Amino acid sequence: MTVPDTHAKLDAQLLTHLQTWTGKTETLLDSITIAPLIALSATLDRDDPLPLPGTVVPALWHWLYFLPRTRQSELGADGHALRGGFLPPVPLPRRMWAGGRLEWHLENPLKVGDAIQRVSRIVSVSHKSGRTGDLVFVLVRHEIHNAQGLALTEEHEIVYRAAALSTDPVPTPSMAEAGAAWQREITADAVMLFRYSALTFNGHRIHYDRKYVTEVEGYPGLVVHGPLIATLLVDLVRRQNPNSLIRRFSFKAVRPTFDLHPLRINGQLSVDGRSVRLWAQDGEGFLTMQGQAELN
């Protein structure tokens, strides 16, 4: 399989066309059912009680709902939907979540049994020139409602970039901070990645197809999902501070994480106990994700 040369500059006309997606909206309906919650609890190696109608959905576990609905014949070579539906048709082959910001309206939590609606809007489409070519960032805002009203507001940023070349400069990684009060080592192996892909109906081949991810996209191993790492960061807060609720959470992907070595999740509670600094590091000790949780 080959990938076209996407190191050529995106011309102004194409960028203008992509920016016409700004303001585009999409509305999806779903129901909060029990089975996905049980399955994610098992994937995260948790010993949770069986969820029942009325059980509050843990922070970030709403990603188990509003799953992609793309028909098999409408998938691209990378396992994602062909470009040009709700998201703009950015002609760059590598795409990942760059980060996100979420706010839970705790007076109206999402619960098992809720009928839910998600209204999504493209907030912006922007272009930057990086060391390895063009970067296109798409900012999406989601608002999730149940019968009582708005329950969750979320923004996430998707980054599109050119295919890797052997001549690309290698960015200098940053070492992760040491000595966190909260730490947990995770073996995010191919089985965990497969299970999370299945739970989120994520067909992106970088997470399960080693031949594709190494030979086509140029990564050294399977890529650990950014949302999975973010979920593990929040899960650390739940394990260490189970009586607190998260009101806001933000995260930023710093460096891809691969399944080649265990990763480490770290957390540091603030002196006043109102927030937690969170970060992830790979097996070499390099910083891969930063996060901040604001507690209720």
Q: What is the C-alpha separation between 103 and 59, in angstroms, rounded? A: 10
Residue 204's CB is within 10 A of a number of other CB atoms, namely 21
Ordered per-residue pLDDT tens for the chain, 296 residues: 333 334 446 788 888 889 999 999 999 999 999 999 999 999 999 999 999 999 999 999 999 999 998 899 988 888 888 777 788 888 887 888 889 999 999 999 999 999 999 999 999 999 888 766 789 999 999 999 999 999 999 999 999 988 766 666 677 899 999 999 999 999 999 999 999 999 999 999 999 999 999 999 889 999 999 999 999 999 999 999 999 999 999 999 999 999 999 999 999 999 999 999 999 999 999 999 999 999 99
Helix, strand or coil, per DSSP, at residue 101 = strand
Q: DSSP assignment of 181-241, as one string? A: SEEEEE---HHHHHHHHHHTT---GGGT-HHHHHHTS--SSPBPPHHHHHHHHHHHHHHH-
Domains of the chain: 12-295 (3.10.129.10)
Spatial CA neighbour of 100 closest among 227, 268, 283, 242:
227
Spatial CA neighbour of 78 closest among 156, 6, 157:
6
Q: What is the C-alpha separation between 281 and 185, in angstroms, rounded? A: 10
- Which pairing describes strands 25-31 and 115-130: parallel, antiparallel, or unpaired? antiparallel
Q: Tokens standing for 280?
A: 């992830």
**Residue 282 · residue 237 · CB < 8 Å:** no
Q: DSSP assignment of 125-171, as one string? A: EEEEEETTEEEEEEEEEEEEEETTEEEEEEEEEEEEEPPP-TTSPPP
Q: How many residues are present in the chain?
A: 296
For residue 132, the model assigns a pLDDT of 65
Helix, strand or coil, per DSSP, at residue 279 = strand
Residue 283's CB is within 10 A of a number of other CB atoms, namely 14
Q: What is the C-alpha separation between 65 and 32, in angstroms, rounded? A: 7
Q: What is the C-alpha separation between 179 and 166, in angstroms, rounded? A: 36
**Residue 276 · residue 268 · CB < 8 Å:** yes
For residue 56, the model assigns a pLDDT of 97
Cα–Cα distances in Å, from 284 out to 33, 71, 120, 189, 279?
39, 39, 37, 16, 14
Spatial CA neighbour of 215 closest among 93, 68, 74:
93
* Triad 264, 268, 270: Cα angle to 5°: 165
**Residue 50 · residue 38 · CB < 8 Å:** yes
Q: What is the pTM of this model?
A: 0.91
